[in-house]
Amino acid sequence: MSSSDQDDHDEDAPLFRANSGDDDDHPRRRSSPVGEVPVAQSIIKAASNVCFSLFVLAVLVVTVVAVTYQPPDPWLQSSAAITTSLSRVLPNSTFLLPDDSLLPTGEDFNSSSSTPSAPRRDDPDQATATATAAAVNGTCDPDAPLNCSDPRVLAAVKAFNAKAFFRRSIVFLSYEAPVPGPKPGECDVAWRFRNRREKSWRRYRDYRRFTLVPGDGCALDINRVGKFRSGTNAARPPRQKGSKNRNPRIAPPPVDAEINDTIPIVGSEAEFRRGKYLYYMRGGDHCKSMNQFIWSFLCGLGEAKFLNRTFVMDLNMCLSGAHTDNGKDEDGKDFRYYFDFEHLKESVSVVEEGDFLKDWKRWDKKKGPGRISVRKVPSYKVTPMQLKRDKSNIIWRLFDGQEPENYWYRVCEGRAAKVIQRPWYAIWKSKRLMNIVTEIAGRMDWDYDGLHVIRGWKAQNKQMYPNLDADTSPEALVDKVPKLIKQPMRNLYIATNEPFYNYFDKLRSYFHVHLLDDYKELWSNSSEWYNETTTLSGGRPVPFDAYMRVIVDTEVFYRAKTQVETFNNLTRDCKDGINTCNL
């Protein structure tokens, strides 16, 4: 045995004897020490542990980012994202958001607050079974004339609707009693419904004409059904108390009885004196784009909420030339043409400026203890935090400076941006306009696809959008759209700012094309919308302006089953111009 072998043997021997007591010369005991791991294997194991730890850490980081990240795209249903996005487009207090984009409002956001529980959708099989049971339990005479008050009529209608709209986004909320139609065997039925694609939980009304025939046993079968709002006998609104129709031959104009946008008034002098008000003087935002108006208006509402005060608002608006047919600013527009004033006054505390100024002048005593206290704030640089403890009846913000110093939204900049929360939930689109949206979608039986084609000034600006014009040409659309919407001859609604009606004629060989101008009668001088807006304007006709068109066009598009968008599907250009796709 060599000296080296002897050394190894002497070093290993005590260990072997302690563990087993075997002979020192056993060949298996001399191969390697017990419990010793090769160096390479130890390195591999340590490296694998490090890699696994890094992987777990990466998963945790990605999870945290995914949960907490607020995307800056305003169309991704987040009010916080809109606030962040608009803050980024306000360098040097210049509102740079393109005027042809529709700023989302509160009803577009996923909000879990103050939303009622969703009504259960009717199962068509269950509805049919219920109708059959109702028919069997009664007695019937197949030869007797149809009585629309018969419970079997409503049961048959419910079963039909449950089957017809089961795979669509319609949720039926309530039904009204059927009324006779113009011919024997016809009944008109009205119901309330909502669209699951709309997050505002607003209710809409539909009424259709049904032709019913005897079925198996005592059941009734629906032989024919009219289109959206065809059952006009069920459309008559209840006559208001005290109203008299002097000419019974002339039917009263149709109205939406669920709209209540009357102006709230202060009941008494004592109530006025107890109140705390925030009054914004008209500033440089007047006649600016609608997006800037909303951004500034919500700043005022946010400050009023922070100060626990009632906001004094002016219902008179000025529509920017970007949204008018002649390109000129138009003053004298009513806030209620575009936004839901009923929802606003239910969400936040507001009073109308005209009535407020009259009450202020009437009840203010110029001298003595009865004087209404007022604090005038000359600059936006006086922050809301500095006004928090002010006990004046009226805080009157003045915006007398030059632009952009006189913009309302300057109040919410700087340190105030951390404490003022804009109440996006308070702004909904006008229900009068949303009724037009519902009518258009209903006429297509809520079964259509949507194509959004943005052209206008963007297609003409080849420097910012080099490919948009070519990518949205009629030839390009014919090549791309049938590949994206593969089922032929579907209803296709095209939301667009392209002024030429026949621009999309080549698509008519592949789809049933619908454009907004196909529904002009919905805002004509005989329409519900015309009657209601004329009442708001004191008898003056209200034009259906470009911003109203954008609202209706966009909302109809959002209710489509398949949505093909310009910058996501049709063109290689970026939404905000060249080199902005990753911003």
What are the tens digits of pLDDT across the range 311-335? 999 999 999 988 887 889 999 999 9
Average pLDDT over residues 416-440: 94
Q: Could you tell me if 297 and 393 lie in one domain? A: yes
Decide if 108 is inside a domain: no
Looking at 68, 89, 105, the residue that finishes a domain is 68
Residue 39: predicted pLDDT: 73
**Alpha carbon of 466 to those of 40, 275, 472, 571, 582: distances in Å?**
59, 56, 12, 10, 17
- pLDDT at position 198 is 75
Q: Is the pLDDT assigned to residue 483 strictly greater than 60? A: yes
Within 8 A by CB and 6+ apart from 263, the residues are 315, 352, 355
- What's the pLDDT at 129? 52
238, amino acid identity: P
Alpha-carbon distance of 256 to 432, in angstroms, equals: 8
Q: Let me know whether 382 and 362 are in one domain.
A: yes
pLDDT of residue 539: 92
Does any domain span residue 403? yes
pLDDT at 166: 76
8 A C-beta contact, residue 529 and residue 522: yes
- Domain total of the chain: 4
On whether both 437 and 421 belong to a single domain, the answer is no
In this structure, the answer to whether residues 455 and 328 fall within a common structural domain is no
Least-confidence region, from 112-126, 284-298, 378-392 = 112-126
Q: What's the pLDDT score for residue 255?
A: 59
Query: Cα 256 vs. chain centroid, distance in angstroms?
Result: 21
Neighbours of 537 (CB within 10 A): 15
Percent with pLDDT over 90 in the chain = 54
Average the pLDDT over 102-123 and give the result: 53
- In terms of DSSP bridges, do strands 512-514 and 449-453 run parallel, antiparallel, or are they unpaired? unpaired
Q: What is the mean pLDDT of the chain?
A: 81
- More confident position, 25 or 546: 546
Residue 374 and residue 312 in one domain? yes
DSSP 114-175: T-PPPPPPPPHHHHHHHHHHHHHHS---TTSPP-TTSHHHHHHHHHHHHHHTTTSSEEEEEE
Residues 178 and 279 in one domain: no
* pLDDT over 80 at 141, yes or no: no
Q: Tell me, what's the pLDDT at 97?
A: 43
**Domain for residue 240, yes or no?**
no
pTM exceeds cut of 0.85 = no
Q: Look at residue 417 and give its three-state secondary structure.
A: helix
Whether residue 580 lies inside any domain: the answer is no
Q: Among all chains, which residue has been given the structure tokens 């400050």?
A: 303
My answer on whether 418 and 333 are in the same domain is yes
Closest CA to 532 of 218, 262, 268, 169: 262
Of the ranges 72-76, 196-200, 289-293, the best mean pLDDT one: 289-293
Residue 114 pLDDT more than 50? no
Q: For 337-363, what is the mean pLDDT?
A: 93
Both 282 and 214 in a single domain? no
List 312's β-bridge partners, or say none.
Answer: 279, 351
Whether the pLDDT of residue 116 is over 70: the answer is no
Domain-terminating residue out of 366, 396, 426: 426
Note whether residue 119 is domain-resident.
no
For residue 472, tell me if it sits in a domain. Answer: yes
Question: Does 334 map to a domain?
Answer: yes
Please compute the mean of the pLDDT values over residues 188-197 and round it to a whole number.
Answer: 88
Residue 360 clears pLDDT 60, i.e. is over it: yes
The boundaries of the domain holding residue 218 are: 124-234
* 534-573 tens-digit pLDDT: 999 989 999 999 999 999 999 999 999 999 999 989 999 9
How is residue 59 written in tokens?
């998963």
Domain endpoint, select from 391, 426, 461: 426
- Which pLDDT band, with edges at 50, 70 and 90, does 430 fall under? very high
Q: How far is CA 282 from CA 286, 315, 396, 397, in A?
A: 7, 12, 11, 9
Give the tens place of pLDDT for each residue, 46-90.
Answer: 788 878 788 888 877 777 655 444 333 333 334 454 555 555 444
CATH code (residue 453): 3.40.50
Q: What is the mean pLDDT of residues 480-499?
A: 95
Model pLDDT, residue 390: 95
The least confident of 40-44, 55-59, 230-234, 529-533 is 40-44
Same domain membership, residue 443 and residue 505 = yes
End-to-end CA distance of the chain: 77
In a domain, 458, yes or no: yes
Q: Poorest-confidence range of 66-75, 174-183, 368-377, 564-573?
A: 66-75
Is 50 exceeded by the pLDDT of residue 293? yes
